[in-house]
Amino acid sequence: MSRVDAHHHVWDLSVREQSWMVGPELDPIRRNFSLEDLAPLATAADVTATVLVQTVGLVEETVEFLEAAASNDLVAGVVGWVDLTAPDVADALAALQARADGSYLKAIRHQVHDEPDNDWLLRPDVQRGLAAVADAGLAYDLLTKTPHLPAAIQTARNLPQLTFVVDHISKPVIGEPLDPWATHLRDLAALPNVTCKLSGMVTEANWTTWTPKDLQPYADTVLEAFGPTRVMFGSDWPVCLLAATYAEVVETAETLTATLTPADQESVFTTTATRTYNLSSP
């Protein structure tokens, strides 16, 4: 089965610093990571298409990622960034889509979990910006934690025309009680315009002692709430390297979905991402 990795990053620290890399605990990934580094890992895991996701709030990075997608057969789509609060957000999106490589732009994302206001998504300027994303025919990746989920739920209700993708199952702390995260996630899953990435879990667990058993209740909650046809696998490479290799992340996802039917496994590993991001078939 050909697979889609619906969430990974690359960065070159000689081009720009990654401002989110704060603290010595991130030293293991404080170096450059390229598509050339990812390619053999993807091949070994039967991943034939990927979605390259923004890491910083700069349009310049999005342009670089579009150029990378156009020149590398592995990358089938890009989740980029624009300033959702800007009055000219529609023009910014149109400019990116008008590029020769603009068809690789599939979604927009902002580091909502870094905003001090848990209701940032509900700001009128942000809501206007999200409506522009929908008008551009793009999806929107929700990078949130549990405190941001009520605003995310209301936002998805406000904008039924926009497809939302929850990144990293909204980053619950693995090992803590499932609620209120689980209740909020189920409320979000009740909305038909929301999908979810089975990604980012290993770095929300204890980096050195986690096991698939620790992650299973969270994965089960996601799969039960959204159903496999609205869940997609993502590696979160190279951030995942803080806790697991690429191969270990893929193997863990296989373990977490082992009780699904082959058709449902195909949804998680291929079909959901292909449909949601309008990718060429892997």
Q: What are the pLDDT digits (tens) for 230-255?
A: 999 999 999 999 999 999 999 999 99
For the segment 53-66, the average pLDDT, to the nearest whole number, is 97
Please say whether the beta carbons of 78 and 104 come within 8 A. Answer: yes
For the segment 21-39, the average pLDDT, to the nearest whole number, is 96
Dihedral sign, Cα of residue 226, residue 112, residue 233, residue 208: negative
The answer to whether the peptide bond before residue 87 is cis (omega within 30 degrees of 0) is no
Percent of the chain whose predicted confidence (pLDDT) is above 90: 97
CA-based nearest residue to 198, from 214, 177, 220? 220
CA-based nearest residue to 244, from 33, 28, 79? 28
For the segment 181-186, the average pLDDT, to the nearest whole number, is 98
Task: State the pLDDT confidence band at 280, using cuts at 50, 70 and 90.
Answer: confident
What pLDDT does 73 receive? 95
For the segment 216-234, the average pLDDT, to the nearest whole number, is 98
For the segment 91-106, the average pLDDT, to the nearest whole number, is 98
Please say whether the beta carbons of 149 and 217 come within 8 A. Answer: no
Task: State the pLDDT confidence band at 153, using cuts at 50, 70 and 90.
Answer: very high
What predicted TM-score, i.e. pTM, was given to this entire model? 0.96
For the segment 34-45, the average pLDDT, to the nearest whole number, is 98
The token duo for 59 is: 């349009």
The token duo for 241 is: 């390297």
Dihedral sign, Cα of residue 199, residue 204, residue 210, residue 213: negative
What pLDDT does 281 receive? 55
What pLDDT does 238 receive? 98
Tell me the angle at which helices 212-226 and 181-189 cross, rounded to the nearest 10 degrees.
30
Reply yes or no on whether the pLDDT at 129 is more than 60: yes
Mean pLDDT of the chain: 97
